[in-house]
Each structure stands twice: as structure tokens, then as C-alpha cells.
Structure 1
Amino acid sequence: MIPYLGPLDLFPPVEMAREDMGGLLAVGGNLQPDRLLEAYRRGIFPWGTVEGQPLWYSPDPRMVLFPEEFRLTRSLQKTLRAGKFEVRFDSNFAGVMAGCATTPRPGQDGTWITPEMKHAYTRLHELGWAHSVETYEKDVLVGGLYGLAIGRMFYGESMFSHRTDASKVAFAHLVRYLVANQFGMIDCQMYTDHLASLGGREIPRADFLLRLTALTAAGSPRSAWSTDPLDPAR
């Protein structure tokens, strides 16, 4: 049985997650900011809702990317140097969420980014926890990503692309921003070939949680992010 959480119920231990169900840990509770931040600090994340109730996951192994292991290919480096896209931080969070929710993906029917999820992460953005990196072509949003920053830990949530390499350019700028600000790890949640091509890899959940505890406790200002301080093509 998957535990059902009431509004005030604590999360069960992550070791109870059902690996035969992709790491599903619990159902219910709410998506209030305090609940979400508690979940992320414990290595738990919501992945969609059913009848308005959030589904909470903690898979083992965990897909992560260490910023120093980011794989900048020659083709992506060429795209960055060409300056085809303009990159902005935290200037259109709603647009990025909408792009992630509506962009078709192979093998997926619909989206897990429900209205409840949009509302929850928009609130986290307003509070300075959630951030977006956007790529523009001629002032039109064509790609980007969003996620959360707690301490020196970044939790990637979703990305989209309407032009070749648009999301990869956003990711490259994100990585350089994280390196410049001494972030230690990006949570990618679950394995995909796309993330692996960028340098992501799976680690045991126990290892992930140990690193997570230290990184979320590290100091980092909670505020809107400014323009990328470094040129990722260098």
C-alpha cells in the first residue's frame, strides 16, 4: 500500500519508496511552500497529481549531474559562440513552465505539470526559491528550464526546446552560473539519455542524501537570479 498523507502528516522514510513504481513514496498532503521545501531537503519531489493530490517520489538510484562534469560538446560550444540565442534568468518563469507543460515529448501522453503544480512552483518563484533560465531568438522564447535552489543544491525540474540546442544552451548557462556560485550538485531525478549526454549519471540514493544534507545546509542567498556572470562558450 502507498501511504496517503493528510495535510499535516509527515513523509514516510524514503526507504519505503516503491522501486517497482519508479520510486513512488506517498500520495496526498499538499503543495504549500513549506511542504515542498521539506520534501526537497529530504530527497523527495512531487511528480504530477491525481485528482489534485500530489504524487511524491524518491527513486534509487538517483540521476544527478555534478557541475564540473558537464559535457560541453564541440557542436554546443559552437552554438554558444555563435550567439544565436539570448539567455535570460528569471525573466519569464511562467513562460518556461508553460513551454515545459505544452511541448510534446516522445513516449508521453499529456503532462505532469498540472495547474496545481504550476501554481505551487510559481509561488516558490515569487518567494525566491524557484528559478528559470530562458533562451530567446529575436525576442521570442524558444527554450529554457526551471528548478529550485536550496543552499548550494539545484533541483532541475523540466526543460523544453522549440529550436535545436535551445534547452542545451540554457543548461550550459545554468551550469556556469552554478559553478560560479559554488553549487555542488544538480538533481536530475530520473535517468534519461538526454541528461546522460550532458554528463549526468546515476548514484545510489544513500550517497545522494549524504551530499544533499551538506549542500542544502550551505549558505546561499535566496533571491532572483541576475544575468549569467560568465560566458559559457569560454
Structure 2
Amino acid sequence: MDTNGKKIIPPESLLEAYSQGIFPMSESRDDSTVGWYSARKRGIIPMENFKVSSNVERIIRQGRFKCKVNTRFRTVMKECADRNTTWISDLIIDSFEVLHLAGHAHSVEMYNSDGKLAGGLYGVSLGAAFFGESMFKNDKEADKVALWHCHQILQKNGFELWDTQFYTDHLAQFGCIEIPSDEYQDRLEKALEKETRTFKI
């Protein structure tokens, strides 16, 4: 599908994939195609498991960063893609921007005292499920503070499933666990029975 001269993955195709636990990844930033993936074992962060270090808690108390939501979605995606190797291609950025405009993709943004974008993350919402995609930092710990704010937003708005796709040691420090695909599908189906949650501070 093309929009404004750009090839995109239609929003309805993306939402159908996420409803089945499938997500897109490209091979590089300039890859004009995507592969569709699932995971035999799935990473999730149970809402009650989420945690951050005492250092991050101190930064939050100090109010070092200001949190905003959905004001610079495309910029957050581009920052997440700005690394030596990335699965976030321009095709994925363009496609998720349309999904964002449709109300199903969101960014959490951290701004420093100079008003500059210090870090953030983005993901997809469907039903009571949030599918975390990627995060970045320009300032130390800003990505972790963004995760903390994301957790606050998910709790406040009644989300039930926080999907991280894969389990990693890095995500484990925030409470991420790994579950079998059949358990994940059960959790996903229950979350999708609910109306799509709003994503706001």
C-alpha cells in the first residue's frame, strides 16, 4: 500500500498480526521488506513484577526528566532506529506512524531540563495489551525512567498484558519473565476481549 508516495504496511494488517502474537522486523534501516515473527517463548513484564533500581527511583523523585506522550512519535522511532544494526526500517517507521495516527501506536518521551529529547520508547496498543517495541536514551538512565512512566500509564489505564516479545537479561532487571507460547496466547486472548485502552498520563 502507498500513502503520500510511501509504501506502508496497512494498519489493519499490523493489528491483525499483533492480535495473533506476530510482529514485523526488517533486516536493516533501508530494507524495503519485512519478515513476520513470533517467539516460541515470550517475554512479558507482569504489571505487579515491574521494578527499577534505587538510582532510577532517585532520578524520578528528583524530577530530572519531564514525561510527555505521543508528541514526537516519529522522532522516537527514528531515535530507536539510530544504531549500528537495527530491525526498524524506514518502511516500519512509515507504517507505524500511520498506526500511531490511527490511535494504536504510542510513544513515551523524556525531556531534560534543556527541553531536549533525552530518551523514550514506543509500542502498540490493542485491547488491554501493550506491545513494547523499542527504547532509546540520549541521557543516562532516561530510557529506564521512560519504562517507569510507561508502567504508570499502563496501570492507570487498565492494561493487563505488557508484551516485550523477547526475554533478555537487560529486561529482567525490570521484572521481565519468559512464558511458553501457549500461556502467552491465553493471556493475549483475554486482553483482546477488552476494549482498546486509552494511553495517556
Structure 1-normalised TM-score? 0.78
Deviations 1:148-199 (A, max 9, x none): 1111100000000111110111110110111111111211011222111111
Say whether 1:76 aligns with 2:91. Answer: no
The answer to whether the Cα contact below 8 Å between 1:31 and 1:54 also exists between their aligned partners in 2 is: no
Query: Which consecutive unaligned segments of at least 5 residues does structure 2 have?
Result: 2-7
Query: Which consecutive unaligned segments of at least 5 residues does structure 1 have?
Result: 1-6, 8-29, 229-234
Q: How many positions carry a matched residue from both structures?
A: 192
Secondary structure of 1:111's counterpart equals coil
Find the aligned partners of 2:142 and 2:121 in 1 and give their Cα distance. Answer: 10
Aligned residue identity for 2:26: G
Q: Which has the larger radius of gyration?
A: 1
Deviations 1:67-122 (A, max 9, x none): 111013211111100100011011110110111011x3xxxx42111110001100
The answer to whether the Cα contact below 8 Å between 1:144 and 1:160 also exists between their aligned partners in 2 is: yes
Moved more, 176-185 or 48-57: 48-57
Once the two structures are superposed, the pairs formed by residues 68-217 of structure 1 within 5 Å of their partners are 68-102=48-82, 104=83, 109-137=84-112, 138-217=114-193
Partner of 2:11 in structure 1?
33
Cα 1:148–1:195 shift into 2, 3 Å: same
Partner of 1:45 in structure 2?
23
Say whether 1:60 aligns with 2:40. Answer: yes
The answer to whether the Cα contact below 8 Å between 1:68 and 1:179 also exists between their aligned partners in 2 is: no
The alpha-carbon deviation at position 147 of structure 1 amounts to 0.3
Higher RCO by CA contacts (8 Å cutoff, separation 6 or greater): 2
Secondary structure of 2:26's counterpart equals strand
The alpha-carbon deviation at position 131 of structure 1 amounts to 0.2
Aligned residue identity for 1:64: I
Structure 2-normalised TM-score? 0.90
Find the aligned partners of 2:98 and 2:49 in 1 and give their Cα distance. Answer: 31
Partner of 1:18 in structure 2?
none
